[in-house]
Each structure stands twice: as C-alpha cells, then as structure tokens.
Structure 1
Amino acid sequence: MEKPRFSNYYAVRVTGGQEINVALMIEERIKTNNIKEVYSIIVPPNVKGYVILEASGPHIVKLIATGIRHVRGFTHGLVQREDIVKFVSKITVAPAYKAGDLVEVTSGPFRGMQAQVVRIDSAKNEVVLNILESSFPLQVTVPIDQVKPVKK
C-alpha cells in the first residue's frame, strides 16, 4: 500500500529575473539525485524573486536548493495553499459591460473621467472608450479592470 503523500509549499528567495533558471537547476538536481520528496516546482508569473517548491518538509527544500547559483535564502514558514491557487489558476471573468454603457475610468491618465463603452476586446481584456468629458471626440483603449460602472 502506498504511503499517503504529505506536502507543504515552501518559498525559496532567488535573484530577481532568475526564477526560471533556478527552477530548472532545482529540477536537474532533483532528477540527478533521484529525490522523490519534491512534488512540484512553481514559478509564479507575477511574483518576482521567489520560486515555490511543494515538498514533504523544509529539510528537503534546503537540501536541494543549497549551493545553487542565484538562490538567496529560504523564507520561514509555509506558503498557504490558497495563495498558490491564486497564482496558478486563471480566473476568466465575463465582461460585465456592453457597448453604450457608461463607465468611470479608475486609473491612468483619464482617472475620474466618465466614458461610454464603444467595444470590448475580450481576448486582450481591454475596452475601447469614448471619453465624454473631452471637448473633442476622444477614443482610448484601457484594460477592462481600470473601469467601473457609473452609479445611476
């Protein structure tokens, strides 16, 4: 009977911009030494300077990562599973806007201005707006998360 797999997530501090290189070197060390206690290597796309390892214990993480170039240290404690799920899962939100809706721009150079939605580009998560507070017709394209509906 196979022993149940017990694992936690541990963060390894690395030089910024070297996350993928460090992950590849860790993978090579795991394969070379035939280590079975590491279950995954995660390089979060929006987190600079960290590589996350799913392993059976912190001693395994230190054994593997010690001496690898660009490894700067180890964080104390565990990374919560909920935080990992946020990093690796892609949440797709259907655009809540349609052409003709009135919105307010929440950031960028047009912050605070009201605009009318011209069209939505779902593939790029962008929305084309017609700025209403401009003295001449002005169309801008902004990320969809930088607009909010105007209260009626």
Structure 2
Amino acid sequence: MEAPKIRNFYAVKVTGGQEISVAIMLEERIKTNDIKDVYSIVVPPGLKGYVIIESSGPHVVKFIITGIRHVRGVAPGLVPKSDIVSMVSKKPTGPAIKMGDMVEVVAGPFRGMQAQVVSYDSSRGEVVLNILESAFPLQVTIPVDQVRPVKKT
C-alpha cells in the first residue's frame, strides 16, 4: 500500500503586483519538468506579495522557484490550511437587502442619492435600483457593496 502523500502549504514571497505572472511561470515550470509533487498554486485575493504553493515538501518548492523572475524566496514556516480556506472562501458581501427596500447609494456617480431596490442578484453581487431623486424614471445596476439600507426612525 502506498504511503499517504503529505500536503503542506508554503508561502512564496514575490514582488508586489506580480503574483499572477509568477503563478503562471511556476505552472509552466511544473508542466515542462513534469513535477508531480505540487498539488496547487494559490494567488490569494487581498494578500499582496505572496503566492501559496501546496506541495509535498520545501525541497520541491525551492526547486520550482529557483531562477523565476520576481520571486524573493520562501517565507519561513508553513501556512495553516484553515488560513488558506478563509482566504479563498466566498464571503457574504454587502448588506442584507430585498426588493422594495429603500437604500442610499454610498459610492459611484449616484453617491448620496436615495433609491428603491427593484431586484437583487446575490450570485453576481449586483442590485438594480430605481433612483428616486431623478427628474425621470431611472434604473441603474450597481454592485451591492455601494448601497446601504436607509434607517427608518
């Protein structure tokens, strides 16, 4: 019976803003050298300057990053799996709103205007609003994080 493969997450320091290009170069190196001990490459959203590599050991990570442009080295220690899951899992965005709610636009060209929610698409994170302060009927679609429910007193 084959021994279970150990999977650890290693943080690779890269030049800020070059995370995706480094991940693509690492992927190409893994494919051309037919390396089987790298299981995933994660570019965490919101974490600038790091690429996470899931591998069987640090020697594999050091081998694939050697000579890659914009790579600054491997951060000491391992990244816990729970941190990776929290980085890449989908978080609920925006306020809890439903059709017919009165909202205030807090960003964008309609900032400060009152509106009524016509529809809300939670999968896309967008809300269709009927702007109340315009001289003619105006419906706009904006991201849900740009609206805030109006507090009724």
Q: What CA deviation, in whole Å up to 9, does each residue of 1:29-72 have, x standing for no partner? A: 33454544322222335544432100123333122212112212
Answer with 26-35 or 56-65: which moved more. 26-35
- 1:139 to partner: Cα distance: 4.6
Aligned mates of 1:86, 1:151 — CA distance in 2: 31
Identity %: 69
Counterpart AA for 2:62: K
Task: Quote the residue 1:62 is aligned against.
Answer: 62
TM-score w.r.t. the length of structure 1 is: 0.69
Partner of 2:76: 76
| Residue in 2 that maps onto 1:19 | 19
> Any gaps of 5 or more consecutive residues in structure 1?
none
Deviation string, structure 1 residues 105-148 (Cα, Å, up to 9, x no partner): 3444555654311333556422122344x374565432112223
Q: Counterpart in 2 of 1:42? A: 42
Instruction: Tell me the equivalent position of 2:151.
Output: 151
Aligned partner letter, 1:69: R
- 1:107-146 counterparts in 2 under 5 A? 107-108=107-108, 110-111=110-111, 113-122=113-122, 124-132=124-132, 134=133, 136-137=135-136, 139-146=139-146
Task: Using the TM superposition, name which of 54-63 and 113-122 deviates more.
Answer: 113-122
1:71-110 counterparts in 2 under 5 A? 71-90=71-90, 96-108=96-108, 110=110
**Letter of the 2:52 counterpart:** I
| Superposed CA RMSD | 3.3
With normalisation by structure 2, the TM-score equals 0.69
Instruction: State how far apart, in whole Å, the 2-side matches of 1:35 and 1:123 are.
Output: 36
Q: Which amino acid aligns with 2:61?
A: V
